[in-house]
Structure 1
Amino acid sequence: MTHFKNALPRRNPLPLPLPLPLALAMALPLALAACGGGGGGTDTPAPSGSKSITIDFAAKAGTQDVKCGTAITGLGNAKVSAQLHDLRFYVSNVALVNDKGETVPVTLDVSDWQTKDVALVDLEDGTGACADAGTKAMNPQIKGTVPAGTYTGVKLTVGVPSSLNHTDYAVATKPMDVQAMAWSWQAGRKFAQIEVNPTGGVVRPAPAAPGNTFYVHLGSTGCTGNPVTGETVSCDRPNRMDFSFANFNTATQKVVVDLAALYTGTNLNEDLGSAPGCMSGATDPECNAIYKVLALDLVTGKPINGGSGQTLFRAEAK
């Protein structure tokens, strides 16, 4: 806090003390201002001429709320039950669409969950089956500012920009330092890590042993170049998922990630080969159905029609 001991020249006589009630009334606003306010909040005030916005996220499977430690029923074409194992994803290129149809980038607040370029949405709480690699802390929001105006839509990308993707997580700033989201064998990050443990496990072709978890890991593949030695990394298949909602109100709506939609056409009890589940491989049998949901081209790793046909995310009233 600011101290006022030497605010007046020494040659001036000190003023007479104020009556105690009046002194307290005058001091309180100064104390609150110096210490950041009395509400205990950490939100950064929006700059003049702009407004703060929050984009909320939630996890569901159809109409069921999804959370760690609670069974999710009726998943995939076998309609199996499953426990959530992990649910985290990076989001970038966050923008709103104004009433003139113009795309306006959101200036992200910098925090443990956000850099100025990317945010980590974390919808697991480290309990139940999520205890394997999860954390207690959650982040169901993206926070930032936009110029004052009227906004009617939203655009986002599930993914990390290439310039930030191929860096050492061990020395990266938050939230790029999450070891569970690092993808060392592809020299980058998992853009999305969505995992469930289906009842009955996951049968795999011999000689592979059955597994407990069906993995969906989205990230750039076909990458060359070693960032540790200073080489530029290039990836044949970027696998960054674009999605948008033409009608979206950040004050009254939220973004729902729908696991029932994600596993449409997928048998969670069976893996036909390659990596367990879908780990973004162009020849992975399980990725065919998953990529249709994401509106990503399995061969090129690029969005189909700007991601307009994706069904993983939907807008819903708060």
Structure 2
Amino acid sequence: MNAVRKLASWALVPALLLLQGCGDDEKSDKTYTVRFSPQVRQEALTCGGSYPDIGTSRGVIELLDFKMYLRDVTLVRANGERHALKLAQDGTWQRDAIALLDFEDGTGTCATGSPEVRREVVGTAPEHDDYTGLEFKVGLPPEKNHLDAEAERAPLNVAPMWWSWQGGYKFVALDVRSRANESFYFHMGASGCRGSVPDGFTCAADNQATITLAGFDPEANQVVLDLAGLYSELDVNRVPDGTTDMMPGCMSGATDPECPGFLSQFGLTADGRPKALPTTFFRVR
């Protein structure tokens, strides 16, 4: 009988070690904050700032609005191991794997906006001291892009991010004004969409952008969003001719002359296909 008891005791050891290991893994998770810094070159982007020497015409811009949806934020270790952040479900800015960033504070030239600001994504991942890269997607997945915004919970209930004429969301809403244009738009989202909320949609271009950045330590670095880089190939003082160009800026139309310059900064062609990502808009600081 004693031999049987000893055998049973030894049989429990692997199970106890396994349970202990699982507990250690859970305890090793750590909260990480991925910070985003909107800038113009080295200067912070604010609702009261005026920024010269922008784009091909070296124009002056002022911010009106700037919001962006992100998802699937992932930290990358030096050995290539990837860990998706499990986002904090805060009921306002983050839900499931989706996060909303909001860079305008409702003051100055952004007077039509809201005072709430969000410049970070917060979540947990296994604790490591050798995270050296970051990856995330800009926008919503196609299956969540055509929901009824009025019936959705935060952060998918933000009315200014609902793109009614496209039947979906704006992934990026960035509006500035220049000396020639009261509003120079950049609204990035799926384009060429047909359908309805109950029946579903098909889109000519889903415009799903994947941003991969090397040299990123979440404890020490931020993601810079540099508007001087974003507008580097564009003329912010271009006035639409009403024939080949119907509006100042880009609303993700494949034939819009401003869209290639904008979308290229997100690693996309004008028709939504992936291409090499430049380091002029997204970069690490």
Q: Give the TM-score category using the shorter length.
A: 0.7 to 0.9
* Matching residue of 1:179: 159
Which of 259, 265, 270 lines up with 1:293 in the alignment? 265
Sequence identity of aligned pairs in percent?
35
The alpha-carbon distance between structure 1 residues 265 and 147, as it changes in their structure 2 partners (threshold 3 A), is same
Q: Which amino acid aligns with 1:241?
A: A
1:117-176: CA deviation from partner (whole Å, max 9, x where unpaired): 2101111101112112x1100001100011233422110111111222111111111111
Q: Which residue of 1 aligns with 2:70?
A: 91
State the superposition RMSD in angstroms.
Answer: 1.6
Larger-gyration structure (1/2) = 1
Q: Deviations over 1:89-140 (max 9, x none)?
A: 00012111123202221111111100012101111101112112x1100001
Bigger proportion of residues as strand: 2
Report the AA paired with residue 195 of structure 1: D
- Correspondence for 1:135: 114
Matched, 1:110 2:93: no
Give yes or no for the alignment of 1:312 onto 2:281. yes
Give unmatched runs, 5+ long, in structure 2.
Answer: 1-24
Counterpart-to-counterpart distance in 2, 1:142 and 1:119: 7
* Distance of 1:194 and 1:287 partners within structure 2: 13
1:257 and 2:193 aligned: no
So what's the TM-score if we normalise by structure 1?
0.77
Q: Which runs of 5 or more residues in structure 1 are unaligned?
A: 1-45, 203-211
Match of 2:252 among 266, 271, 280: 280
User: Is 1:274–1:285's contact at 8 Å kept on the other side of the alignment?
Assistant: no
179, 185, 196: which is aligned to 1:226?
196
Give how far 1:309 is off: 2.9
Deviation at 1:82, TM superposition (A): 1.8
How much does 1:271 deviate?
3.6
Provide the residue aligned with 2:48 in structure 1.
69
Distance in structure 2 (CA, Å) of the matches to 1:87 and 1:163 = 24
Q: Give the whole-Å Cα distance in 1 for the aligned partners of 2:236 and 2:126.
A: 45
- Give yes or no for contact 1:107–1:146 (8 Å, CA) kept in 2: yes
Between stretches 148-157 and 108-117, larger displacement belongs to 148-157
Quick one: structure 1 residues 62 and 291, their matched pair in 2 at CA, closer, same or farther if it must change by over 3 Å?
same
**Displacement of 1:310:** 5.0
TM-score normalised by L of structure 2: 0.85
